Amino acid sequence: MKFAAKLTLFGGTALFGQTVSKQGALELAGNVHVIFEQKCNDCHGSHLKKPEAKFGHVLDLKRLADNRDYIERGKANKSELFRLVNEGEMPPDDQQKNSPLTREEKDIIRRWIQAGAPHELPVALPKRVSTAPPPRAEDKPASARNKRLTLDQREQPAGVIFGEITKQTGVIIQYRAPIKEPCLSIRVKDGTVSEVLGYLALCGNLVLRWNGDAAVISPVVPHAPATPP
């Protein structure tokens, strides 16, 4: 969930036709650099003689962003790097050196790729804690969202995948398919319903909202063109 686009930028970074300010790009790159240093550098750092998967330049953001095998600038849902971190394959479950990426850290990586994967760093890197505090009881999402499942679906209509999620978890999914239903792919092991549906909605350009324990998924409503004065 390919198309080509040519964008001309003036003082900003592409974000699907919008721009991110210079300061915003610096902040994104700085945060991503710190996240990669804390969570990924032990296995994929340039200091290693034999980095995992023969990938040893995780802190070189320009080199990383230029590698089309990992990143497609402006398209997180098309980028293998985001799939790996979003589905929990990086860092892997059996990797004891670092804690898993938090939801916030995954979202920062997603927004960094969406913004064109800027590589210029701020003068001072942001200070980030490597682990998130446990959520408060009142912050926990509804129980249905926390149900866990395993999926391996390739190029299937969105409705078919949603049906499989309901079959595995019992979670009610109210789905209104767009005129041209997207075919989606996902591979996840022991993920939560909330994470899986959030990823699928992003990939399929769909809107996800929750009505109690039921997930409501619908097409994105295009904005009406501005009325000329």
- 30 and 101, same domain (yes or no): yes
One pLDDT digit (tens) per residue for the chain, 229 residues: 333 333 333 334 444 434 678 888 999 999 999 998 888 888 887 888 887 877 778 889 999 999 898 899 999 999 999 998 888 888 776 555 667 888 899 999 999 999 999 999 988 888 876 554 444 444 444 478 889 999 999 999 999 999 999 999 999 999 988 888 999 999 988 889 999 999 999 998 999 998 888 899 998 866 445 455 5
DSSP line for 104-139: HHHHHHHHHHHTT---PPPSSPPP--SSPPPPPGGG
- 207 and 150, same domain (yes or no): yes
Cα 210 to Cα 109, 160, 218, 223, distances in angstroms: 24, 20, 11, 22
- Domain of residue 186 covers 140-219
- 154 and 105, same domain (yes or no): no
Domain count, the chain: 2
Beta-carbon count within 10 A of 96 CB: 8
**Residues 192 and 143 sit within 8 Å (Cβ to Cβ):** no
- 54 and 99, same domain (yes or no): yes
Q: Enter the pTM of the model.
A: 0.51
- 155 and 87, same domain (yes or no): no
**Residues 186 and 198 sit within 8 Å (Cβ to Cβ):** no
HSE toward the beta carbon, residue 222, CA cutoff 13 A:
4
Query: Does any domain span residue 54?
Result: yes
- 35 and 100, same domain (yes or no): yes
Query: Does any domain span residue 147?
Result: yes
Give the tokens for residue 111: 């927004």
Domain CATH number, residue 162:
3.55.50.30
Query: Does any domain span residue 212?
Result: yes
Query: Does any domain span residue 2?
Result: no
Query: Does any domain span residue 22?
Result: yes
Cα 153 to Cα 18, 58, 106, 163, 186, distances in angstroms: 32, 28, 21, 12, 5
- 49 and 97, same domain (yes or no): yes
